[in-house]
Amino acid sequence: MAVIDSTGLVLPRDLADGMIRKTQDGSVVAQLSTSEPFRFGDTDIVTVNQVPKAEFVGEGADKGSTNETFGYVTARPRKAQTTLRFNEEVQWRDQDYQLGVLNELATAAAESMPRALDLGVLHAINPLSGAALSGTPDKVAGAVNVITAAGDPEAEVEAAIALHLAPGGFPTGVALSPDYAFAYATQRYPAGHARQGELINPGLPLNPREIGAIRGLGAAVSDTVAAPEATDAAAKKIKAIVGNWSRGLRWGVARTLPIEIIRFGDPDGQGDLKRKNQIALRLETAWVWYVDPTKFTLVKAA
């Protein structure tokens, strides 16, 4: 019979893959941008400040030097953890029972980790406390451009897209808070319009697990956009984020998904494990991300 190792183990591939899929389903960051592999530790990311221009060269003509500007930023890993307690019966030598425990942990992690990813990347806050992360890491909420929300989501998102286009960039997606998404999705053509009473934006689903579209841009909905956990009131005012989620954001997992089994002490402040006849299972994931604040525009309440 298989027995859970006392020092730790790596999640079975089917569970790990399932957790990653659920993370992608439950996070606007993962829905609107693609993860990439990072090694654990500080990572230098090359940034292109000016895209080089190609040159047509005639037969026998000299080739000139094109203009380009490169720089780099250093992204540091941020570790998120989920700790669950179980009765000591988890140590029973029953393979099916142990697999059930792993599934339980995978389910809990699938709920906590996508939120941790969003709150870290979007707002640079700790999901448990709502406080700002140390070291002032990059965050999407630090976007340079801001549009003030004044009760007309259709016009405001359109203005954010236009503002984002102004410097020669282009947006790829929109993230919306649930209340703002509902207001946007339920706007109708006014009286006197040829399509009076019809929805203006029927392509925006309100299901946070389903990605929709706004003006051909990917659209995702989650309350992490307005960060209800945040202790900073300014974060709760964000209604939508328009941006280039492919060039303005780079993120990924810098560590595998281990399970640590803790049998002694008080790892989460809920009392001594031995006294309570319990053990704790802990999952930790290290994320790395970089955000270019010039690639995003916020729609924010006054």
Angle, vertex CA 17, rays to CA 223 and CA 86, nearest 5: 75
pLDDT at residue 132 in the model: 93
Q: Does some domain include residue 66?
A: no
Q: Is residue 4 part of a domain?
A: no
Supply the CATH number for residue 244's domain: 3.90.1690
Considering only residues 127 and 166, tell me which one the structure prediction assigns the higher pLDDT.
127
Calculate mean pLDDT across residues 254-264. Answer: 72
The H or E element spanning position 106 is helix 95-118
- pLDDT one-digit tens code per residue, 242-253: 999 988 888 887
57 in any annotated domain = no
Question: Does residue 2 fall inside a structural domain?
Answer: no
Q: Looking at the predicted structure, is the pLDDT value of residue 5 above 50?
A: no
Helix-strand-coil percent breakdown of the chain, rounded to 5?
30, 30, 45
Which of 72-76, 193-197, 201-205, 256-260 shows the lowest mean pLDDT across its residues?
72-76
Q: Which range of residues forms the domain containing residue 214?
A: 9-48+73-301
Residue 1 in domain? no
Whether residue 203 is contained in a domain is answered as yes
Confidence of residue 38 (pLDDT cuts 50, 70, 90): low
Domain count of the fold of the chain: 1
Is residue 187 a part of any domain in this protein? yes
Whether the pLDDT of residue 260 is over 80: the answer is: no
Residue 53 lies in a domain: no
> In the prediction, which pLDDT does 60 show?
73
Amino acid letter, 133? L
